[in-house]
Amino acid sequence: DWTMESFIEQQVREIRAKVGSANVILGLSGGVDSSVAAALIHKAIGKQLNCIFVNNGLLRKNEAERVRNLFGRAFDMKLIYVDATERFLARLAGVEEPEKKRKIIGNEFVQVFDDASAQIEQAEFLAQGTTYPDVIESVPIDGNPAAMIKSHHNVGGLPKEMKFQLLEPLSRLFKDEVREVGRQLGLPEDVVMRQPFPGPGLAVRHLGAVSQKTLDILRDADEIVVEEIKKAGLYYSIWQTFAVFLPIRTVGVMGDERTYDYVIALRAVESTDGMTADWVQLPYDLLGRISSRIINEVNGVNRVVYDITSKPPGTIEWE
Ligand code: XMP
């Protein structure tokens, strides 16, 4: 029986002993697991930890600045920031098919990550935020029926040909313990409690081909959803809440003007592991506030709809 404090002390000793004077690479996504792994390893080896954070152009609003401020400045970690937005969006231009989008994003990520890690000298270890549930469900790609439906990939996924030793200091912890370790290491509540976000990012919440302009519409709408759900005190108790961009336009009226603009769908689901999920009965007044704010504040949207599909038969993400 150990406390999180003694867990941290013990891991710090083990990481130092294992790594020696070598450098460690970690793919930072901004999610709970990679953030806590980064904080823990940084406590152990400081500047020997090299975080790589890839902006694929599919991140939520202000996410890149948030990650750079927290890890690069507040924690003063060595952080390689790669803004690969143009590269990803160029490869995704005109691609509508969900699985094609996922494959392109996965392949592109591996290349960008590879290029960035090649610059780091004496890198012998690749750190990952693997947790205990990841270990026990560690046949997810082939054995898990959910993986047959969508080709999941995690930012920081290990390219097979990489010749690093693995460093996985969270591999014996459950999610709640990972969060507690993060708190002890000084990560803000907003980071340790954040909702899951898919590796392919907003691309799987933007139906059809993505473009800078329509991704911005989705980002602005999504920001409003998260803000209002937080204000209502529901963000940390609901599994996921987000906006989905529909590339179809409907007719509306604004003042005396006819409008012809895009549709945003809202998704809110309750779940314990993402394998099954129930749509959440959000209060009508909250739905109303989100809807009017999106329509008033986001140019190009004149209609908001609510997704009342559970999983199964729906999936959580729309693509
Ligand atoms: P679906 O849409 O399959 O999602 O019901 C189940 C859970 O997995 C997340 N998700 C992903 N996570 N890489 C990830 O790391 C992915 O490619 C990916 N696709 C879906 C989704 O947000 C939900 O929590």
Number of domains in the chain: 2
Q: Is 205 in the pocket of ligand 1 (CB under 6 A)?
A: no
pLDDT mean over 142-148: 44
> To test the ligand 1 pocket, which listed residue (99, 104, 195, 317) has its Cβ within 8 A of the most ligand atoms?
317
Peptide bond into 198 cis (omega under 30): no
pLDDT of 140 > 80? The answer is: no
pLDDT digits (tens, 9 = 90+) for 21-44: 999 999 999 999 999 999 999 999
Residue 302 lies in a domain: yes
144 lines ligand 1 (CB under 6 A): no
Determine the atom of ligand 1 nearest the C-alpha atom of 146: 3
For residue 186, the tally of other CB atoms under 10 A from its CB is 10
Using the atom order of ligand 1, give the atom closest to the CA of residue 197. Answer: 22
Question: Percentage of residues in the chain with pLDDT exceeding 70?
Answer: 92
Which residue puts its alpha carbon closest to atom 24 of ligand 1? 274
Domain extent, residue 92, equals: 4-190
Annotated binding site for ATP: 29-35
Find the 150 Cα to ligand 1 centroid distance in Å.
8
Domain identity same for 172 and 287: no
Same domain? For 178 and 215 the reply is no
CA of 201 to the centre of ligand 1 (A): 10
Q: 243 CA to middle of ligand 1, Å?
A: 15
Q: 186 and 215 share a domain?
A: no
User: Is 174 found in the same domain as 59?
Assistant: yes
**Residue 154: per-residue pLDDT:** 57
**Whether residue 43 is found in the same domain as residue 142:** yes
Instruction: Provide the CATH number for the domain around residue 41.
Output: 3.40.50.620
**Is pLDDT of 97 > 60?**
yes
pLDDT of residue 311: 98
- Please work out whether the CB of residue 46 comes within 6 Å of at least one atom of ligand 1: no
Residues 186 and 299 placed together within one structural domain of the fold: no
SS (H, E, C) the chain: CCCHHHHHHHHHHHHHHHHCCCEEEEECCCCHHHHHHHHHHHHHHHHHEEEEEEECCCCCCCHHHHHHHHHHHHCCCEEEEEECHHHHHHHHCCCCCHHHHHHHHHHHHHHHHHHHHHCCCCEEEEECCCCHHHHHCCCHHHHCHHHHHCCCCCCCCCCCCCCCEEECCCCCCCHHHHHHHHHHCCCCHHHHCCCCCCCCHHHHHECCCCCHHHHHHHHHHHHHHHHHHHHCCCCCCCCEEEEEEEEEEEEEEECCEEEEEEEEEEEEEECCCCCCEEECCCCHHHHHHHHHHHHHHCCCEEEEEECCCCECCCCCCCC
Shared domain for 16 and 127, answered yes or no, is yes
Average pLDDT score over residue span 72-87:
98
Whole-number pLDDT of residue 158: 54
Domain of residue 282, CATH code: 3.30.300.10
Res. 307: pLDDT tops 60: yes
Q: What's the pLDDT at 136?
A: 84
Q: What is the mean pLDDT of residues 307-312?
A: 98
Query: Is 223 found in the same domain as 155?
Result: no
> What token pair was written down for 76?
């003063």
In a domain, 317, yes or no: no
Q: Quote the pLDDT of residue 260.
A: 98
Ligand 1 mean position, distance from CA 32 (Å)? 15
153 lines ligand 1 (CB under 6 A): yes
| Closest-lying ligand 1 atom to the alpha carbon of residue 275 | 6
97 and 234 share a domain?
Answer: no
Per-residue pLDDT at 144 exceeds 90:
no
**Residues 218 and 186 reside in one and the same domain:** no
- The pLDDT score that the predictor gives to residue 152 is 61
199 Cβ below 6 A of ligand 1: yes
**Which tens digits make up the pLDDT trace of 60-78?**
999 999 999 999 999 999 9
Is 78 among the domain residues?
yes
Model confidence pLDDT, tens digit, residues 160-204:
556 899 999 999 999 999 999 999 999 999 999 999 999 999 999
**Statement to judge: residues 85 and 225 lie in one domain:** no
Cα(23) to centroid(ligand 1), Å: 31
